[in-house]
Each structure stands twice: as structure tokens, then as C-alpha cells.
Amino acid sequence: MSKVPISYSLNRLKWRIRAVLAAFGCGRLLTLGSVGVATIYTTERLLAPPYLVRWLISVAIGLIVLRVGWKQLILPLASPLTPNQLALWWEREHPELRGRLSCLIELQTNPRFASVDFLHEIKNQIQEILPTLNRAQAIPSGKAQRSLAGGILLTICLIGLGLAFPHEKNAFLRQLSGEEVAWPGSTELVLLPIWIEGEDAPRIPEELAPGEHRLRIPIDTRMNLRVRAQGRQPQLVQLHNEGSAKPMHNLGGGEFSFSTNPLSENTLFTFKGGDDKDGKPNLQIILGETPPLENWTVQLTPPAYTRLEGSTSTMHEFRIPLGTQITANFTFPTEPKAVTINTEKGEITPTLKNGRWSFSFNATENSRARIAVTAIDGFVDSEAASLRWWVEPDKAPRVSIQLPATRWTTVPGGKIPLLLDVEDDYGLAGITLLPSPIGPGVDLPNNQKIFRALPVPPSNAEETPPPPFHLEIHARDQALSPGLTSALSPRIEIVGTTAMEERLARKMAQTREELEAALSLVARPPESGHGPKRVRRKMERILEALEETLLERVFSGLDPGTEFWQQEFSQAFLLSGALPRGSLAALLMGKRGAPLLERAGLLADITRAGHQTVEGPARYWEEATQNNLDTKPIRQELEIQIRSMLEILTAWEDFQSAVNLLRNLLDRQRAIHFRTREASEG
């Protein structure tokens, strides 16, 4: 076994002694500190002692903690440990040393009392024994460990409680620092901004000290006092003034209010409720008197773009256009010391001319001006009067394209009806139709209802049809910051005559299918009251599609008689500004003029028949069903009307067959002519 130096063993023992003493002292200190903090908290929470008593208790507990720390930690660690003392520690718990360690240390200190060989022999024996010695047996640490563990556990519990109840912790720490803070769950009254009679915003009183407030108001003024109860909600809050207590009105949510009578002298209000009875918050009212405003007038000059005339009013609140010039005038029965106009952007200095005060500014945003008057004696009424305004900016123009209402198809040489509904707050600066495949851009009239029949230039659309496009409208107003709005029409397509006819034939085939479906609904007995409504709605959709197809056909100009009806439709659009369902059919039935021929004529016939069906038996059938009347005659009439529409479609198909037959005969005649000429020339 290797030999251990004696000094090393003694130093290790010394450090263990100090570690055990430090652990024991720290444990005692943590335990006592935690108990002291808990004692202070319990005293504060349960007894709520005055500040002086609270301070004395805290100082006493602090002195006790310092004394224990000095005796249990500082002094033991500061005491020196001599080698003889350390040797005795070893020998007390290890009898096998038999005093040799202390003897060796003593002889090494006074070597003249022993021979060198003797010292060497004892040293060798001790060095052989030292590795077998146990420091833990010589210096037990169980008590120190228990002390330290107990102190740490109490400290952790204290910290955990603080984290679990942060409001309690914050209130306790603030009270330790000297602040007057209510405990969570206790009642704490807080004074809210005060409403003064005749003012449209509350005043915030001046805070002289925590819970002490002061407010200067004009004489003979009513106030509405409000407080909020934080923490535990009391059932009653009282307002104390001149020895009397009056209950405040409970508004709910912890708020209480009280409206005072006109005050004629300085006074002091205090508020008490729940366990908040320390007389705070309190409010000191200082009354003063300023000369009242008289002859109040406000002149409004709207900006030029609105085209509105100026006006004069005696009111204090206005809604005005952006950029309005506001000029306020007023007088006083006696001259004040000073007058100031306070706004959100700063102060405005009013002008005085011939005894009349005035100020002027340009309104660019919602704001408010308060007129502060200083009396000769120095009293200041910060809001002797007020002026408030809300700015209503000019909204961007609203452009709605009524026509074309859906996808539009036309042919070269036809027309595109453009019906616009334009709205703006104060008028437009301009409306522009941007360039498109049918022509360059044009400026449109600044009207609310605008109609233009845009001509489609001739082109060879049979071979190279142009790509589909949209008409784009730009509208701008005359505001200070002009608003710009754009609107796009539905897709517009220019096709050749053959393609136009093919699309029309497909639409008529689809119309036949829908009419046959409606006829099947009418022919079978309805199982419920929803059958008549379904038929009416289906016929309305058919009529709407027929009117759109008729409008396309008329403005395409492919059939004779369309020029007259183009003008009639255009005039109707200008007058009505819209295209309600059935309007074209009603116009066709009520207006006499050049008849529509060929396909346009057949479309007009079936459109009129559809309008009569919708407004006649289809509607009557639904009403009779709702009134529990006999519907059989009406159903028969409706069936006849739908069949008449199908007969018109049959005539359409016969006409189409005749046209196709004539076209085939012409093609055959042309072919015979070419062959005859080739034979004669050959």
C-alpha cells in the first residue's frame, strides 16, 4: 500500500470539517430565512400592521438571521484549525493511532525531545495507517446534510409558492419596498377619468401623490365620478364628502359611479368600499370661473371639387368632406386673460378683432379642438368649449357595366351595346374607354347612366377571327387625391357570319330541350307545392336567355329591320339604366315599328311568347297552388303556351331547312354553270 503524506491527510480532514460546517450553517441560515419571510408574509397578510410595526418586525427578523449566520456560519468557518486539533480529530475516532499522530506532530514541532530514528519510525507507522482511515467516520456529516436539505427544501417551497401565486408575490415584494399595495383578493379602489357636464371627453385629474388627486373645474359644474374596484368586489362603495357618506351606483364589472350636483365651492371627495377604507383614492376639487363663450358660429367652406356651397352653423360637431376649411368665431362678455385652441397636432393661436375671437384651419383628418380659457385671476378652464369633426373622404368612383351583362358574340359590322352605371360622391373628372380591337380609346360623358353602341369595324372574320377581348373602363373623380376605378366587361368575341349562325342554332337546340323539360313537369301531376315554383323559375331562366340572344341578334345587324330596334333599345337603356328580365319582350309588345324579320323575327316571337307564359299561366299556377284553388285549367293553359313556343322553334327549324335547301340548290347550280363553261371553252 502506498504511503500518504501526513500533511495531505490533515488538509483533507480540514477541508471536510469546513465543508460540514458550511453545509450545516447554510442549512440553518436558509431555514431561518425562509421561516422569517413566511412570518413577515403571514403578519402582513393576516394583521396588516402599520408601516412602523411592519418595519420593526422586518428589522428584528433580519437581525436574528444575521446573528444566526454569524454564529453558525461565519465564526466556525473563520476559526483556524491547527495540526494538533486535526490529529486529535483523527485519534478520537480511530484508536489504532494510539496517540502516535499527535505525538509525531508535537515532536516535529519540538524535535529536540526525540531522536531522529524515533521520529522516522513513528512517521513510517502513521503513513502506513493513514490510507486505512475514513474521514467520514472521523467527521460525520449526517446532521449537516439534514440541515442543508431542510433549508433547501423550505427555500424551494417558498420559491414555488411565489411562482404559483405571482400576484401575491408581487404585492408582498412591493409592500416590503414601502409601497402601499392592496393584496390580491382584497379591495383596491382606483379613480377613473371624470366626466364633466357638457364635455364630450373625460378629464384625467392631476395625481399629487399615490391615491391623492386634484381637479380644477368651472364653478356650478356637474361631474360624474367613477371608481373601479380591483381585487375582491365589494357590494357597496360610498362617496364621503363633508362628513356625509352617499352610496355610489353599481355599474357592474367592478365599476361604480356617482353624479354630483352643481358645485359652488371647493370640496374633497373620498371613496371607501370593501376593505379599502384608508381614504384613498381622494379627489380635491378646486373651482374657478371663466367668462362663458357667446355668439358661437362655425363657417364651413367645402373644397371646390365637391361643388357644395359654404354654410354657417352654431353646432359643435360636424361631418365634412376632406379638405373643408373650418372657421370658428365666438365672443366673451368680459375679456379673458388668454385663449388657447388645443388640437391633436398642437396649439392654434386665435385672433382677436373687434372683440370677436376666431380661428381657422383645414380639416384633413378626424380630430377635435378644445378651447382653453384663462380667467383674469389665473384660473384655467381647459375645455370651456370644444369643436369636433369627422372627415368623410371622397370614395373612389363605382363603375358597373350593365351591358354586356354576359359573354357577348357579334360579327364584323355589328355593334356592341355598352351600358354603364357610374356613381361618385361629388362628381367625376372623367370616364375613359381604353383602346380595344374595335377602336381607339374614347372619353365618355360624365353621367351616372352612360350608353354607347360601339360599332365593330368590318374585317375578314370568317378566315382570321380576332382573339376574344374585354372592354376596360377607367373612371376618376375630382378629389384632392383623385380616386381611380377600373372595370372590365365580360368576354367579347367577334366571329364570322357562319360561326354566328352555328352558335345561334346550338342555343335554339338547347332552348328546345329546356322547354321540353318544362313541359314534362307541367304534364305530370305535382307531388308537392314546389312543382309550380320550379316551372316558373325554369321559364324565367329560358326567357332571360332568349332576351340575351335576341339582343345579340338585333345588334349584330344580320337581319332586316334591326336598325329601328337598335335605336329603340338604346333609348330604353338610357331611360331605365338597366335591363330587367322581360323588359325587351315588353318593349316588343308595346312598341310599333319596323318588324323584325328572318331569325331576329322568330327570336322576337318566341321571346314574346315566353314573356306571356311567365307572367300568365306560370305565375297563376303558383298562386292558385298557394291558395288551394283548382289548378287544372291553368296547367292546361300553361301546357298550350309552352307547346306554342315549341311550334315557333319548329318553324325556326323548317326555315333553317329551307335555307339549307336553297343554299344546296345554289351550290349545285353554280357547279353546273362552271362545268358547262369549262366544256364550252374546251
CA distance linking residue 333 with residue 571, whole number of Å? 65
* Whole-prediction pTM: 0.51
Confidence of residue 184 (pLDDT cuts 50, 70, 90): low
Q: Is the pLDDT of residue 329 over 90?
A: yes
596 lies in which domain range? 497-665
Q: Are residues 155 and 270 in the same domain?
A: no
Average pLDDT over residues 153-166: 83
The set of cell numbers assigned to 167 is 400576484
Residue 230 domain-assigned? yes
* 416 within 8 A of 466, measured Cβ to Cβ: no
Looking at residue 96, what DSSP letter applies? G
> 3-state DSSP call for residue 23?
helix
Q: What is the pLDDT of residue 1?
A: 44
Q: Is the pLDDT of residue 243 over 50?
A: yes
Residue 675 domain-assigned? no
**491-521 confidence digits (pLDDT tens):** 988 888 888 888 888 888 888 888 888 888 8
The set of cell numbers assigned to 306 is 365637391
Cβ–Cβ contacts within 10 Å for residue 576, how many? 13
Residue 451 domain-assigned? yes
> 3-state DSSP call for residue 130?
helix
Domain end residue (candidates: 348, 376, 392): 392
Q: Are residues 332 and 197 in the same domain?
A: no
* 331 within 8 A of 344, measured Cβ to Cβ: no
Q: Are residues 451 and 578 in the same domain?
A: no
**37-91 confidence digits (pLDDT tens):** 888 778 777 776 777 777 788 788 888 888 877 877 777 767 766 666 566 656 6
Average pLDDT over residues 30-36: 83
CA distance linking residue 576 with residue 267, whole number of Å? 71
- Residue for cell digits 292546361? 636
Confidence of residue 658 (pLDDT cuts 50, 70, 90): low
Q: Is the pLDDT of residue 409 over 60?
A: yes
CATH of the domain at 451: 2.60.40.1930
Confidence of residue 528 (pLDDT cuts 50, 70, 90): low
* Torsion sign, CA atoms 224, 230, 233, 238: negative
Residue 682 domain-assigned? no
Q: First and final CA of the chain: distance in angstroms?
A: 141
Q: Are residues 311 and 373 in the same domain?
A: yes
Q: Are residues 421 and 455 in the same domain?
A: yes
- Residue for cell digits 399629487? 208
Number of H helices, E strands in the chain: 16, 30
Q: Are residues 151 and 230 in the same domain?
A: no
Q: Is the pLDDT of residue 11 over 70?
A: no
Q: Are residues 274 and 237 in the same domain?
A: yes
* Torsion sign, CA atoms 158, 160, 164, 167: positive
Q: Are residues 510 and 654 in the same domain?
A: yes
CA 572 to each of CA 362, 458, 583: distance values in angstroms, whole numbers, following the listed order: 45, 27, 9
Residue 62 domain-assigned? yes
Q: Are residues 284 and 305 in the same domain?
A: no
Burial of 124: CB neighbours in 10 Å, binned 0-12, 13-18, 19+: exposed
Domain end residue (candidates: 494, 529, 562): 494
Q: Is the pLDDT of residue 677 over 90?
A: no
Residue 678 domain-assigned? no
**82-132 confidence digits (pLDDT tens):** 666 566 656 666 555 555 555 556 555 555 555 555 555 556 656 556 665
Q: Are residues 26 and 129 in the same domain?
A: yes
pLDDT top residue among 309 and 15: 309
Q: What is the pLDDT of residue 116?
A: 55
Residue 409 domain-assigned? yes
Residue 516 domain-assigned? yes
Q: Are residues 215 and 349 in the same domain?
A: no
| Number of independent structural domains in the chain | 5
Average pLDDT value over all residues in the chain: 78
The set of cell numbers assigned to 430 is 372623367
Q: Are residues 274 and 361 in the same domain?
A: no
Q: How many alpha carbons lie under 13 Å from residue 175 in its C-beta half-sphere? A: 26
